[in-house]
Structure 1
Amino acid sequence: IDKRVQFLIEGLFAVRKAKFQGHPVVRPELDLVEIEVDQNTYELSLEDVVDPETSLDIFKVDPQFL
């Protein structure tokens, strides 16, 4: 292994050993969803029949946008 790669790997292991302190999961300025208010939870079973709404996969230009 090249020395540079070795130093990068050692640095990554040091960050992991420190439990990723200084590396938040979500940056505070990007945390825009209020857990209790804006977040929806959906529970599905593997046996449930779900409509995939494939019509939403097709892009359509909205002439009234802008």
Structure 2
Amino acid sequence: MSMFESLGRYGAAIKFAHDRKKSIRAMNSLPPHVQKDIGWPASPPNDPQAALISLLLGTAR
């Protein structure tokens, strides 16, 4: 496996994670009644990483 293949896989993994988090943020920003209608949990589960970020930076990203 070449270095460029490894970098490509790493880049693809980062893009996938970013897109996933972006989708989750969009779903969580919907009103609770819409979340319930589409089957999304109305109250998002506690995310330890988000809690740490909010403690360190004052706001969640």
TM-score (norm: length of structure 2): 0.31
The structure where helix makes up a greater share of residues is 2
Structure scoring higher RCO (CA < 8 A, sep ≥ 6) equals 2
